[in-house]
Amino acid sequence: MLRSDRSDRTRRPRRVPQNPGALIGPRLAATLRQAGTLALALLCMTAIGLATGGAANAAEPVKTRLKRALPDESPTEARVIVKYRAAADDGSSARIAAAPGKATAAVRRAQAMGQRHGLALADGNTLAPRTQVLKASGLSSAALAARLATDPDVEYVEIDRRMRAHAAPNDPLYTASPANSPAAGQWYLRASTADLVASIDVEGAWGITNGSADIVVAVLDTGVRPEHPDLVGKLLPGYDFISDANIANDGNGRDGDPTDPGDWVATSDIGSLVASTCVEEDSSWHGTQMAGLVGAATHNGSGMAGVGRHVMVLPVRVLGKCGGFVSDIVAGMRWAAGVSVPGVPANPHPARVLNMSLGGEGACSATYQSAVDDVIAARAVVVSSGGNEGLAVDMPANCVGVIAVGGVRHSGTKNGFSSLGPEIAISAPGGNCVNTDGQACLYPILSTSNTGTTAPGTATFTDGQIRPAFGTSYASPLVAGTAALMLAVQPTLSPAQIRQMLRASARAFPPLSTDTALPECVAPTAAEQTECHCTTSTCGAGMLDAGAAVLLAAANMTVAHVHATSTQVNVGDTVVLDASASRASDGSPLTAYLWEIMQGTGATFANGNATAVVTLDTTVQTELLVRLTVTDGRGGTARSSVVIRVGAPPDDVTTDPPSSSGGGALGLEWLAALTAAIAALGWMRRRQVGADD
């Protein structure tokens, strides 16, 4: 039975301080804190493990420190930061620096360094004692850093990189605004703060990659409403695997149309549903909501943002009226991953990630485990919501190899409805309300939806009053979308590696001291556990950190990064495509850029297709698949793709104005009614939302 999250308190947990020095020593720990990247920490610890030179080598100072590279560094204008050893004050550089004359000590030290290396070095700013910027012409920053790192007077040298602000998308529902409902907007995607502890920092991930249309995420659910403006151009041809026409509600059984006709259950339906113990309920549009969280059109000036940004969504319909059968679900799993299913056409777009925001009580069955094994063997990642009962984890989330996702509140504590246990791999925001009945919900999960209570109405979004949404269903696609971003930067990652990296990069749960009135979560029993302080044995390794996870996946990899001024334009508009955030694995400049139009017609590159920034001219209504290939100095390549929709602007989406009272009652009553649903034996129930009541 679905449960309610009844807690109504707001907390401000403290962040748990990290102590890398306890593992790797104070000197290297300070270096890592200054470099500020989890990937660098991993590489440094690996290097320590491979060292064979004994204590003498261990005592050697770090000579170079590399920040995350940006590709716009000039191959002929070098700029580095150098820190000299304390012992250098007694050496030749110090004597030259102390020589009489009008030049400053910094200038004379730069001159001395240049003389030893046959370079004309110009001094830059002095940053601290024994630390200054050095510049040179005729070579790259990476080359200059490599040469100066060999100097005995140098403690370390690093490239003086150019950093940029992480750009937020221009989708109006993304930001916090009194004009939005909820006013917090897509709070769960933004950077973690003292108030929004559980937010996943997707902008940190987008600073590395905007995802790629080459990466497909399958959403196994109720199907989708393909006309939703934020899903137009983001959906691949899917399939409907519901074999029972009464459950399918579309007049037939399995077919090639995954459109969601609505999954409402009327009194007259109940007797016709096999072994049904269902109750009356409105259409959920659950699959449309999951699809939006994974891959809604982003930075298109309207609607919401999707975690995966440029990734494509493959709708696989496995749930209808009152849920769906395991046999249909496992068939959909195999097909989604590119595994053949008898009697069903082959899937031309195999998914690398499967999102399954569904489940049912009980241990993982042999049928489910076999399907999971087949999907993982096809190198697809399986992500599933853990369940909404506050009890043990549901299947298929408890199957071996599945990335099971728990739900946490904005404050980082366990959602009262979230199931828990050692099977949970990681937790992510599941949405919650901190206010009383009759008021707008403050922290629900906003996503694409539909106004219809039975048959489809008009496109809309879940919100804080009429259609508030929360549940582990909504936590799962946040993890699935992050996995897709990780695969966009390193497509060779295995499902096991994705799982390991997600867990290794997770943020720690808030400690007990943040709210001593709450208990600590314990192993699941027959009694429901409501809100509690998460532990790593009950809620997974920690809270999802999309930025850290993608950074870890991108370590030591050449990355192609595409930024489009818009992914939705009118005929005759131009689109600027920018690959400036692409980078080579070793931080050196990229040697080649190639832009290609893989699908669509009526568009040309106005200024050629072989530079970091190109302009695309459009002339006809179409959908364009544009691919970028970058090449590094060692001949390595990376690719990323983006879909550009050229045509009339998207239709308006129905939204409800924000309200401080009144509007929440209808939505919360509707949600509360869902909690009366009972899972029938042998059926998989979709993970519907719980309500604060």
The string of pLDDT tens digits covering residues 337-380 is 999 999 999 999 999 999 999 999 999 999 999 999 999 999 99
Contact 439, 490 (CB under 8 A): no
221 in catalytic set: yes
Q: Is 545 a catalytic site residue?
A: no
Task: Check 181, 418, 427, 473 and give the catalytic one.
Answer: 473
Pairing assessment for the beta strands 381-385 and 403-408 based on DSSP bridges: parallel
Residue 609 has pLDDT above 90, yes or no: yes
Mean pLDDT across 643-654: 71
What are 440's two structure tokens?
A: 């707008």
Q: Is the pLDDT of residue 54 over 80?
A: no
Contacts of 445 (CB under 8 A, 6+ apart): 188, 293, 429, 430, 431, 462, 469, 470, 474
Report whether pLDDT(426) > 70: yes
Outline which parts of the chain fall under CATH 3.40.50.200: 187-508
| Residues 245, 250, 255: CA angle, nearest 5 degrees | 75
Residue with the bigger pLDDT between 572 and 272: it is: 572
Q: What is the pLDDT of residues 283-306, one digit of tens each?
A: 999 999 999 999 999 998 889 999
Q: Residue 325: which H helix or E strand, with range?
A: strand 324-325
Give the side-chain half-sphere CA count within 13 A for 245. Answer: 2
Phi-psi region of 431 (alpha: psi -120 to 50; beta: other; left: phi over 0): left
The predicted pLDDT at position 482 comes to 98
How does residue 268 score in pLDDT terms, banded at 50, 70 and 90?
confident
Distance between CA atoms of residues 343 and 470, nearest Å: 37
pLDDT greater than 60 at residue 53? no
Structural contact between residues 3 and 417, judged by C-beta atoms closer than 8 angstroms = yes
Q: Choosing from 286, 299, 533, 563, which is the catalytic residue?
A: 286
Residue 389: both structure tokens together: 């009962």
Q: Three-class SS string for 175-210? A: CCCCCCCCCCCCHHHCCCCCCCCCCCCHHHHHCCCC
pLDDT given for residue 184 in this prediction: 83
Cα 604 to Cα 619: distance, rounded to the nearest angstrom: 9
**What beta strand segments (E) does 554-602 contain?**
563-564, 568-569, 574-578, 592-599
3-class secondary-structure state, position 450: strand
Evaluate whether 661 touches 667 at the Cβ level (below 8 Å): no
| Residue 449 is a catalytic residue | no
pLDDT at 261 over 50: yes
Contacts 24+ apart (CB under 8 A), 247-254: 247/273, 247/320, 247/321, 247/322, 247/323, 247/324, 247/325, 248/317, 248/320, 248/321, 249/320, 249/321, 254/343, 254/344
- Give residue for tokens 């060999």: 150
pLDDT of residue 107: 84
Q: What is the DSSP letter of 372?
A: H
> Does the structure show a pLDDT above 50 at 37?
no
Find the helix or strand (DSSP H, E) in which 80 lies: strand 77-84
CB 467 within 8 A of CB 445: no
**Mean pLDDT (the chain, rounded):** 80
- For 309-337, b/e burial (b = at least 16 CB within 10 A) is bbbbbbbbbbbbbbbbbbebbbbbbbbbb
What confidence score (pLDDT) does residue 12 get? 28
At a CB cut-off of 8 Å and minimum separation 6, what does 453 contact? 264, 282, 283
Instruction: Name the residue with higher pLDDT: 70 or 258.
Output: 258
Confidence of residue 595 (pLDDT cuts 50, 70, 90): very high
What is the structure's pLDDT at 230? 96
Angle at which helices 495-504 and 546-554 cross, to 10°: 130
**Does residue 666 or residue 280 have the better pLDDT?**
280
CATH code of the domain made up of 187-508: 3.40.50.200
What span, in angstroms and rounded, lies between the C-alpha atoms of 682 and 36? Answer: 49
CATH 3.30.70 intervals, the chain: 74-160
| Structure confidence by residue, pLDDT tens digits, 179-212 | 777 788 899 999 999 999 999 999 999 999 999 9
The count of other CB atoms within 10 Å of the CB of residue 129 is: 10
Asked if the model's pLDDT at residue 73 lies above 50, the reply is yes
Cα 346 versus chain centre, distance:
29
Rounded average pLDDT over 234-254: 94
Calculate the CA dihedral of residues 379, 236, 474, 429 and round it to 10 degrees. 70
Per-residue pLDDT at 653: 60
Residue 322 predicted with pLDDT over 60: yes
Specify the DSSP class assigned to residue 412: S
d(CA 333, CA 372): 8
Q: What is the pLDDT of residue 24?
A: 27
% residues pLDDT > 90 (the chain): 57
Choose the weakest-confidence range: 510-519, 575-584, 640-649: 640-649
Residues 6+ apart with CB under 8 A from 363: 395, 398
Q: For residues 73 and 159, is the Cβ–Cβ distance under 8 A?
A: yes
- Catalytic-labelled residue, pool 221, 250, 263, 545: 221
Q: What would you measure as the largest C-alpha separation in the chain, in angstroms?
A: 100
Q: pLDDT tens for residues 453-507?
A: 999 999 999 988 777 888 999 999 999 999 999 999 999 999 999 999 999 999 9
Q: Output the pTM of the full model.
A: 0.71
Q: What is the CATH number of domain 74-160?
A: 3.30.70
pLDDT tops 60 at residue 275: no
The phi-psi region of residue 102 (left if phi > 0; otherwise alpha if psi is between -120 and 50; otherwise beta) is alpha
By the 8 A CB rule, do 355 and 397 touch?
no
Read off the amino acid at residue 631. T
pLDDT of residue 188: 92
pLDDT at 436 (0 to 100): 59
Strand order in the sheet with 216-221: 239-240, 312-317, 216-221, 353-356, 381-385, 403-408, 424-429
